[in-house]
A and B are shown apart, each in its own frame.
Chain A
């Protein structure tokens, strides 16, 4: 099976690694080969965090530049930073609520306008799904369910190799039971919003 490549990026603390593990375990339980790369350590302290997943036959979890089928970005500027991972056939799902770098007041480069970011992503991919995952997460009951909003969005993308039920089963196995109602609501809402786009 030719691998389906997912590049996930965002900021430390957004639940990126957990989300990736949910996808990876779902793939495994569904009988698909899967490999994943994650970076720990110093990167956690508010820096950029990214993971890479290949679902299908692959040795290395590292995606070649321009080789991602899906870019899932938890933060808009981090989506733009990762734009070299996609090509014109790729899909992009991005959160639109931004997280300012702590040193932005001293930074030479300003944080780009959201519309500029979205234009760039739109014009270099097959389709862009932009959603305010922070707001959706808050509405679902907790801002920390943002990662499940994004996961729901990813599952709605055409060509995503795993269906909702398989992902939800994996969520149940990987997330604390008491936060499941909020997480499931966040997931469903992310899925619905993306499906309607």
Chain B
């Protein structure tokens, strides 16, 4: 499928879409005028598709500097009467949360949907926080789709509800829904109104204490009305299968429940909560009142389980609830059909014949992700280690940040000692600088620097810290698939854009020692690192070379490293100190795979025997 097909008019046609692609189609069918994000897996492909089709689709799309800015862009558009859509990974909503709380109070005019893509089991995240709590914290409605078709349909529905009640809607997906592919039947695309008008109303849009008190009351009234809706909504659907046992579930967990129930023909009633907040108390009461046993199947926290228990307490019922709290189901990580079946077997007292599952007893080497062949980060890590050793420095602390370079945690680099969140490398370096006498070398990527590094760098200089900050500038947001950022001359829709200079930002933050190096030049890079390590203050080295994945796309590879086995003394330094996927050992000697080699020349420069050379 060509990605542009997402744009096609074709009502009633079917496409095989990724959840994230279906999200974009839903936005188009809803007539979204403004969309914004900061890239983050598992939500990244939504932005990638919007980036390709927005100009043609006639909507405005941007990669914002961070998620808070993205949410603010969308909030203002919605206040001006346009339909707006902002989306991010779960931890991105933490960044945006300050403004999220307020937009719940002030509400919207045009519909606004905020999508949070959660990552149970942490396929590509630092935690697996459950963002259903945010619907409760901000007190806004939540919608949880289970598959691509639902995502598309519910995007449209969410905008209608948002506009009707003048509140933003929080849509929660999880990795298995965002990255699920399925058939999606298309609906008509709605032409979007793309110029709004902001009608001033400070009593509504400026939450100072006096107005905010009133706004909170208004929010409570809106949510009460929406609870009537969630109690009656056909989105919250009961699958009656007879018997006295019922399962309450939603999202991805619903899919596992249905597969297990249907395959094993279990006599279990299922309530799927799709419009899941405000929690539909009356519907829950109606569903459970004649049941003996209730099982709550949800990923990650026991959110609904506690709310079901509250309903039972409130109505004075005596019912047994099975779920996470009593240990029937695991408390953490994502679920699977196997996990759900095991839980249901306990509740139903079943002993189904298990499929034979064979596990090999041969211990297998693991296959961790690694920096790509030719990655400029590898060269930077190699040189910083050389510089630190050359100066005889010990106990150096390496705060790191979020991006491909977090893979610096691996041997032999071992250059990742402390990480909290986007931008934390610089803030925590300030703390280590005050709390210890250890040397500190901090790493942050270019996109992450724009996202949350700048305020911390100002803090570092102003509060007289001492550390070396290495800005690993590979001219892209690499880990999420290569999205642009403010340091590039291109915007989210592929148009020309003013390029913001990292060098100038660093200088403007008051940094006195600031140098830019090409990390693929090992000698010079090591020299500059050594100089920077001896500087008494905040030193910044910008290690600047484009990501190899972008370079490969441009087919700019010019040379390949070639090893002369007659000269090679088999010291294995290249193999052990670089761990480049192109360099491997076979039959006791070192080889370089020409297919993987990207011609970065780092191994050529570091080989003590000069046994590696560049081949055209």
Contact = CB atoms under 8 A, between A and B. Distances in A.
B41 A42 contact: yes
A59 B146 contact: yes
A84 B357 contact: yes
Given A28-B183, A44-B369, A101-B365, A88 B124 contact: no
A39 B364 contact: no
B476 interface: no
With a 10 A CB-CB cut-off, give which of B16, B175, B255, B337 has the most chain A CB atoms.
B16
A38 B177 CA distance: 10
A37 B259 contact: no
B389 interface: no
A107 interface: yes
A63 B262 CA distance: 14
A80 B364 CA distance: 9
Given A59-B146, A88-B356, A46 B369 contact: yes
A28 B370 contact: no
A101 B255 contact: no
Interface in B338-367: 338, 341, 355-360, 362-367
Nearest to A77: B364
A62 B256 contact: yes
Interface string A53-71: 0000011111111110000
Contacts of A39: 123, 175, 179
B224 to A, nearest CB: 33
B337 A60 contact: yes
Nearest to A46: B370
Contact of A60 (B255, B356, B411, B595): B255
Given A34-B182, A40-B41, A47-B367, A62 B336 contact: yes
A179 B10 CA distance: 29
B576 A105 contact: yes
Contact of A102 (B147, B181, B183, B581): B581
B268 interface: no
A83 B364 contact: no
A80 B360 contact: yes
Contact of B42 (A28, A40, A103): A40
Given A12-B369, A36-B180, A64-B337, A46 B355 contact: no
Interface residues of B, number: 63
Given A45-B370, A60-B255, A102-B579, A66 B41 contact: no
B584 interface: yes
B337 A45 contact: no
B329 to A, nearest CB: 16
Nearest to B334: A62
Chain A interface, DSSP helix/strand/loop, else mixed: mixed
Contact of A28 (B14, B176, B180): B14
B508 interface: no
A25 interface: yes
B446 interface: no
With a 10 A CB-CB cut-off, give which of B44, B338, B341 has the most chain A CB atoms.
B338
With a 10 A CB-CB cut-off, give which of A88, A102, A173 has the most chain B CB atoms.
A102
B357 A45 contact: no
A64 B260 CA distance: 9
Interface stretch (A109-117, A160-168, A183-191): A109-117
B370 A103 contact: yes
A64 B341 contact: yes
A64 B338 contact: yes
Nearest to A111: B365
Contacts of B337: 60, 62-64
Contact of A34 (B1, B16, B341, B364): B16
Given A59-B259, A60-B259, A107-B366, A66 B357 contact: yes
Contacts of A116: 362
Interface residues on A, range: 35 or more
Contacts of B585: 104-105
Nearest to B583: A102
A102 B370 contact: yes
A83 B358 contact: yes
A87 B364 contact: no
Interface in A106-138: 106-112, 116, 120, 124
Contacts of B363: 108-109
Contacts of A105: 572, 575-576, 585
A11 B368 CA distance: 10
Contacts of B16: 21, 24-25, 28, 34
B1 A174 contact: yes
Contacts of A61: 176, 180-182, 255
Contacts of A158: none
A35 interface: yes
With a 10 A CB-CB cut-off, give which of B175, B368, B580 has the most chain A CB atoms.
B368
With a 10 A CB-CB cut-off, give which of B42, B182, B407, B572 has the most chain A CB atoms.
B182
Contacts of B357: 65-66, 84, 87
A38 B1 contact: no
Given A45-B372, A65-B338, A110 B365 contact: yes
A41 B123 contact: yes
A1 B183 CA distance: 16
A24 B579 CA distance: 36
A51 to B, nearest CB: 9
Interface string B489-520: 00000000000000000000000000000000
A26 to B, nearest CB: 9
Task: Give the 8 A-B CB pairs with smallest separation, nearest first.
Answer: A41-B124, A60-B255, A41-B41, A66-B355, A45-B369, A47-B369, A59-B255, A36-B181
13 contacts: A28-B16, A34-B183, A39-B123, A41-B44, A43-B123, A46-B581, A60-B256, A83-B359, A86-B358, A102-B580, A103-B368, A107-B366, A109-B363
Interface of A: 11-12, 20-21, 24-25, 28, 33-48, 58-67, 77-78, 80-81, 83-84, 86-88, 100-112, 116, 120, 124, 143, 173-174
Given A34-B183, A45-B370, A59-B147, 16 more contacts: A25-B1, A28-B183, A33-B183, A36-B182, A48-B367, A60-B256, A61-B182, A61-B255, A81-B360, A83-B360, A103-B365, A108-B365, A109-B363, A112-B362, A120-B360, A173-B1
Interface of B: 1, 14, 16, 18, 41-42, 44-45, 123-124, 146-147, 175-176, 179-183, 252, 254-256, 258-259, 262, 336-338, 341, 355-360, 362-372, 404, 407, 410-411, 479-481, 572, 575-576, 579-581, 584-585, 595
